[in-house]
Structure formats: C-alpha cells, structure tokens
Structure 1
Amino acid sequence: MQITKPTFYKEFSCIAGACPDTCCAGWQIMIDEKSLQKYRRFKGSFRNRLHNDIDWKEHSFCQYDKRCAFLNEDNLCDIYSEAGKDMLCDTCRKYPRHIEEFEGLREYSLSLSCPEAARIFLSHKEKITFFTREVAAPEETFDDFDYFLFTALMDTRDYLFSVIQDRSIPVRLRRQKLLACAHDFQLSLDKNELFQWEDICDRHQKSGYGEKFLNKIQKWNNDHPVSSEQPSKDSTSDTVSLLALCKQIWRTVIPQMEVLRPGWHTYLRKTLVPLYGSCQNDTELTEIYAAFAHDYPDWTVHEEQLLLYWIYTYFCGAVYDDQIFAKVKMAVVCTFMIHELAIGTWLKNNRHFTFEDMISICYRFSRELEHSDPNLNEIERLMDEEDVFDFRNLLTI
C-alpha cells in the first residue's frame, strides 16, 4: 500500500481551547461501529451521560443548538477529559486529517475547514510538495476500479500541479491553462481515447503561454457563442459582463446548497454587498481587484495554494465518475469565491485585510462545502450542467 501526504502534514497539532472556532458544532458527527461498541461497554460515572447523549439509531452524537452534546462551555470535549483520548471516535480522532481512498493508494491531507490546518496551509509561501511511501497494510480491492484511467489521472494531475506552481507565469494565465488542459482531457475521455493523454500534455507543454496558446483560447471563444441564458453582455464589447457573471455565479451556487451553520447567508450578504454594491460596471470592479491585489500581495500565493488544494483533494476522484472538467472547474470557482469574500471583507473593513481574515474566510467556506456530501455533489453537478460555468465564462473570471 502506498500513502501520499503533503510535506507539512505532520505540522498539525490541535490547539484545543485556543482555537478561534470549534470542529464540534455545525454538523452531525457520525460514530464508527468500533467506537459505538466501546461506548456501550463503558463503565464509571460518565456512563449515563455517554449513553444518554448518543443517538444510537443514527450512530451519531446528539446535538443541542447545533453543538455536540459533549462540547462544553470552554469548547473542549468532555469525552476526552472524562474518559480519555482513546475514547474518541474515528471522526474526532482523525479530524482535520482527510483521506481519499484508491486501489493501492491512500492520499492524506489537512482539511481547510480547520482554522489551525488552514493557518498551516496558507502560511507556506514556498511551493507545496508531497511525498509518497510504501507502508505495510492490506490492500483493498475496489470493484470495477479502472486502473488505466487512474494512472492517466495521476500523471495528468502531476502536470496540472506544474502548471499551477509555475510562478514565472501570471496566475490568470495559469488558470486558463488549467482549464484548457482539463477541457481537452475530458474530451479525450468522453471519446474513449485515453491513449491521447500524453499527446495532449506534450501539446500543452509545447504551446506554453505564448501566441499559440492564446490564439487557441481566442479560437475557442469565437467558436462558442454565449448562450442567451448567460449573464448579459457588456454594452461596449462582445464579451460577457464580468460584474454580471460574478453575481450570477453566486446566485447559481448558493441557493442550491444546504446550510450547515446558522448565519451563513447573512455572512455572505454582509460580505458581498460591499463588493458588488459598490460597482456599476466592469471597469470599477477591475479597479477594486487591482487595489486589493496591491494592498494584499500575498493573495497571489494563496490563490496558487488554494488551486493546488482543490486539485490534490478531488481531481483523481474522477476515476469513479469521469468528471475531470467539473472537478477542475470546481477548483477555479471555489478559489474565485474565496477571492470575492476576501475583497468584500477588505472593503467592509475600510480596506484593511489581514492573514487572520484569510484564514477565517477559508475555513468558513470549506465548512459549508466540504462537510456536506450533498453540497460537494451539487457543486460538481452545477459545474457540469449550468451554462454560467461554461469554459468561456471561467476564462473570464
């Protein structure tokens, strides 16, 4: 069995009561069967509470006001303090460590939804790297696992990593290359022509970011006129209005998502209104973007790291559903949404923005998306089916 981890993986250590938020509120915490057996057999004065505050039918901890029943007023776990750390269930013991399972491979990451994990991740200004090693562990066989496709996805992801981390190139062009590659890879998979993947990589490497690549992007735009369902065109050009497009992305995504924490929609409204409400046209919006980039230059590195995070965590999952392009679109859109929340926060705070603000935005966004399988499935469906997430539009944002 092989395992892959980011090099910063072991830097994480729970900061417990010093954490600005808690991982024990806002979602249902499921209990593994082994832990349930331990809770059933537990002896001592804590036994009654343990038994009364577990939903044995749902295999989860009870909640009060969306908080785990065992989360005390100091945001510490009573199971840990009363019964010991060995009594924590798998979910509580492992979080924020996240595992993606493939045949013969486990990929570990730290979830962006944890404030301390987000701090560790975002504080790395150097290029993020990963290590893979063999471990003695039984290998599980997955039914109908397409190993040929998985190998192609792994090789493709390595190439996408190199695109994302090429700091000699402006991030905007890196995003466009990322989308163009994924678009071409999806076409080859749809045509059952996986043998062309190496040629696609070679072609994109040779075209680089020069005139040939830019001409290809322009040709794609010319060959795919904007649908009537798309946001309105700017009256002064033949391109989609950036301001209208940005608003439409939020209007398309947010109503379809379940809310995990009370106040999420209020937070979005209070954060985004200062941004979009202050702009009358694309020129004003791009001027605000430029001013934020000037005031918070670390965003360039954060954008690179965030794109890498989404691609590392979800891209190879396409082996199970063939949704290559949708997963890359999701990476671009999620990074875009965090960017807009950052600028909205900057404006709301009188053009003041800190690293702590960025951490807060990332873990709040991640908690609403990544801790809900329905939300993850829905956003991927939207990427695949909604016109607003057309390739041409995503080249624009």
Structure 2
Amino acid sequence: MKRRTPDYYHRFECIGSACRDNCCVGWEIDIDDEAYGDYCSVQGAFGQRLMEYIDHRRPYHFIMEGDRCPFLNTRNLCDIYMNLGKDRLCQICTDHPRFYETYGDRLEAGLGLVCEEAARLILNNKDKLLFIDEGEGQEEAEDPWLQMLNQVREQVILLLQERKRPLWERLALVLSQAMILQEDYSRQDKKSMSAHIHRQWTVERPHEDPADVKGWFLDCIEFLQSLELLTDQWEKILDLAYDKVREENIVFSDPDPIFYEQLMIYFVYRYFLRSVYDFQLLDKIRFAIFSCLAVRVLETAVSDQENIPPKEIARLYSKEIEYSEENMEALNEEFLFSEMFEKQKLLNAVSIVF
C-alpha cells in the first residue's frame, strides 16, 4: 500500500499536561471492541475503576465526570497510560489528533488542526510543506479519476507555494481553476481536465472597497453563529467580531502569507481527494478558501479586543467546524444553495482581506 504523510507528521508528540485545551475534556470518548475486551480483563483496584467508569452498552464509552474523562487526573495526565501503558489506550486515544483516509491502495495520514501542538507544527512552519511517500501500489489498479484528482491537488499545492505571487492571486487562481475543472469533472472529460491542469492561468484583482463587501463579512459571521457552537470562547469571538464588523469598516493589515498558505494547504490536503466519491472538487476548494477567509476576518476583528493569536483562531475554527459532523453537513449544504459562496463574492473577499 502507498502511504503519504506531511513532512511534520512524524515530529508530533503529545505535550500532555502542558496542553491548554486537553483532548480528554469536552468530548465523549468511545472505546473500541478490542480495548473494551482488554479493559474487562484488568484485575485489581484499577480494573474495578475501569469497570465503574465504562458504559457497558454499545457503543462503549467512558462515563464522563462533568466534561472530563474520568481517567484524566488532576495533573491532566492519563491514568490508563500511567497504569497500563500507551499500548493499551483505546484506538481513538491512540490516534488523536491523527487522521487517516484510504483511497483504494492509497493511505493518507495527517494531523488535525484541532490539536494545539499539531497546529503549531502546521502553521508555524516557514518552509514549503513537503509530503513523504512510502510503500508501493499497483498504479494500473488505481481508479483513473483518483490519479487525475491527485494530479490536480499536486498542482494546486504547487501553485499555493508560489511565493513570488501575492497571496490573494494564488487563492484567486486556485478558485478560478477549480471552477473550470469542476465542469470537466462533471462531464467526465479527462482530456479537457488534463489540459486545464497544466494551463497557465491569469487573474485580475477586483477593485473592491471594504465597505462593499461588509455585508459578506457579516453573512459569514452570521452563518458561523447559526451552527452548533461547541465552546463559549468561540461564541464570544463570533459575537465580538460581528459587532466590530457591523459598527465599523475594519481595516485589514498585511497578512502573514506563509501562515495562510499552510492553512490553505492543510484543508486541500485533508479534503480534496474526497471528491472522488462525491464529484464536488470545487466545494473542497471553496471550503478551504472560506476557512481562510473566516479565520482572517475573525483575526482582524478581535485582535484589538482579545489577545488571541491567529493560530488559536484557526485551531478553534477547526474544532468547531471540522470536528462537528452537524456543522460540516450544514456547510456542505450551504455550498449548494447559498449565494455567499459564489465565485465573485469569494474573489472580492479574497482581494480585500489578503
């Protein structure tokens, strides 16, 4: 099997009690069948404690104490890890924040932005992201559309890494290219798609006044407010940002282009190939661009009121959106029906904030 990982993947190590937003707090923690059988075999006082704090109805999970895992001790360390060892953690605890996607004979792995240490590795990186390919697969057996989409993704990432171009231009080119490639994909026209992948694209910068796209900023924040809100901190950020944008014409300073390059590539890498299943490659690009725009607007709107760095806003966005099935479904539905995600509206917003 072929395996691909970002170059930072193997550098990840959990920072344990130093983590400010512990992954053992605020989430229901499921227990896989193998781990459940293992925990049922544990003897002594710790075995009794395990049995007491497991809900023995399927799907098995720990019985939380408030919003904390019952095995997260007062030092914010895992008692299962400390008493039984890391090899006996349940699968979800072993994997997090890693994610895995399998496409035929291709396995792709990465780190979720929701984890603050993963966010540091992803967003503080100043070098161009590289990917590590390992293993072998049977090229002739791979879905030809998967091969084509992988080529598209590679070209998108290379374009996003063309640092001689201003950031707004890179995002605008990626969106414009995706619009055309979606038409090719919908027609199942491999020849046209192949030609468009390597076409030299140009784009002109829209001359928009921030006041002209103020309504879009408000719509963006209102949409985020309408979703399932997982944390009080996120709700506060959205409320502060909405009031700021509504009452003032906010001024966007020069962004950190490498930060948003890495953020954009994170979303493209994680989600783009899923279009082999739903045929919506354009929506994967719109999701990535919308995510960068949302983080940028929130960063600018709350920077003078709250001491929250852009990396933390991006991490909270990931937690609220990516890690809520309900919110991801709502966003996918908006792509189908909302004018907020029309090409020109996104291009206008990109031109203003980047």
Alpha-carbon shift at residue 268 of structure 1 (Å): 2.1
- Write the distance in 2 (CA, Å) between the matches of 1:340 and 1:20: 24
| Contiguous gaps of at least 5 residues in structure 1 | 140-144, 219-233
Matched, 1:258 2:210: no
Root-mean-square deviation over aligned CA pairs? 2.4
Q: Residues 5 and 109 of structure 1 are in contact (CA less than 8 Å); yes or no, is this contact kept in structure 2?
A: yes
- Write the distance in 2 (CA, Å) between the matches of 1:264 and 1:54: 30
Alpha-carbon shift at residue 327 of structure 1 (Å): 0.9
Matched, 1:24 2:20: no
- Write the distance in 2 (CA, Å) between the matches of 1:42 and 1:369: 37
Matched, 1:86 2:57: no
| Contiguous gaps of at least 5 residues in structure 2 | 350-354
Matches within 5 A, 1:1-397: 1-57=1-57, 58-134=59-135, 147-203=143-199, 205=200, 207=201, 209=202, 213-214=203-204, 241-255=212-226, 257-270=227-240, 272-273=241-242, 275-279=244-248, 284-285=249-250, 288-290=251-253, 293=254, 299-349=256-306, 357-397=309-349
* 107-116 or 62-71: bigger deviation: 62-71
Give the aligned length.
346
Alpha-carbon shift at residue 135 of structure 1 (Å): 6.3
Question: Secondary structure of the residue that 1:318 maps to in structure 2?
Answer: helix
- Write the distance in 1 (CA, Å) between the matches of 2:91 and 2:113: 19
Question: Secondary structure of the residue that 1:93 maps to in structure 2?
Answer: helix
- Write the distance in 1 (CA, Å) between the matches of 2:218 and 2:71: 40
- C-alpha deviations, 1:120-142, integer Å up to 9, x for none? 11121111110101069xx9xxx
TM-score under structure 2 normalisation?
0.90
Question: Secondary structure of the residue that 1:75 maps to in structure 2?
Answer: coil
- Write the distance in 2 (CA, Å) between the matches of 1:162 and 1:114: 26
Alpha-carbon shift at residue 274 of structure 1 (Å): 6.0
Q: Residues 71 and 78 of structure 1 are in contact (CA less than 8 Å); yes or no, is this contact kept in structure 2?
A: yes
Alpha-carbon shift at residue 275 of structure 1 (Å): 3.5
- C-alpha deviations, 1:139-168, integer Å up to 9, x for none? 9xxxxx981221111000011011111111
Alpha-carbon shift at residue 243 of structure 1 (Å): 0.7
Letter in 2 for 1:325: L
Q: Which runs of 4+ in 1 moved over 6 A?
A: none
Alpha-carbon shift at residue 263 of structure 1 (Å): 4.6
Q: Residues 237 and 298 of structure 2 are in contact (CA less than 8 Å); yes or no, is this contact kept in structure 1?
A: no
- C-alpha deviations, 1:56-107, integer Å up to 9, x for none? 2232222232222222222221211222222211111121111111111111
Alpha-carbon shift at residue 324 of structure 1 (Å): 0.7
Q: Residues 4 and 130 of structure 1 are in contact (CA less than 8 Å); yes or no, is this contact kept in structure 2?
A: yes
- Write the distance in 2 (CA, Å) between the matches of 1:380 and 1:362: 19
Q: Residues 218 and 242 of structure 2 are in contact (CA less than 8 Å); yes or no, is this contact kept in structure 1?
A: no
> Residue 73 and residue 261 in structure 1: after superposition, are their counterparts in 2 closer, same or farther (change >3 A)?
farther
- Write the distance in 1 (CA, Å) between the matches of 2:30 and 2:231: 17
Q: Residues 29 and 60 of structure 1 are in contact (CA less than 8 Å); yes or no, is this contact kept in structure 2?
A: yes
Q: Partner residue of 2:352?
A: none
- C-alpha deviations, 1:314-342, integer Å up to 9, x for none? 00011111111111100001111111222
Q: Residues 27 and 371 of structure 1 are in contact (CA less than 8 Å); yes or no, is this contact kept in structure 2?
A: no
Letter in 2 for 1:92: C
Letter in 2 for 1:36: Y
- Write the distance in 2 (CA, Å) between the matches of 1:19 and 1:125: 23
> Residue 317 and residue 240 in structure 1: after superposition, are their counterparts in 2 closer, same or farther (change >3 A)?
farther
Q: Partner residue of 1:230?
A: none
The percentage of aligned residue pairs carrying the same residue is 28
> Residue 172 and residue 194 in structure 1: after superposition, are their counterparts in 2 closer, same or farther (change >3 A)?
same
Q: Residues 253 and 382 of structure 1 are in contact (CA less than 8 Å); yes or no, is this contact kept in structure 2?
A: no
- Write the distance in 1 (CA, Å) between the matches of 2:62 and 2:274: 29
- Write the distance in 2 (CA, Å) between the matches of 1:189 and 1:344: 38
Q: Partner residue of 1:225?
A: none
TM-score under structure 1 normalisation?
0.81
> Residue 263 and residue 169 in structure 1: after superposition, are their counterparts in 2 closer, same or farther (change >3 A)?
closer
Q: Residues 26 and 68 of structure 2 are in contact (CA less than 8 Å); yes or no, is this contact kept in structure 1?
A: yes
Q: Residues 253 and 379 of structure 1 are in contact (CA less than 8 Å); yes or no, is this contact kept in structure 2?
A: no
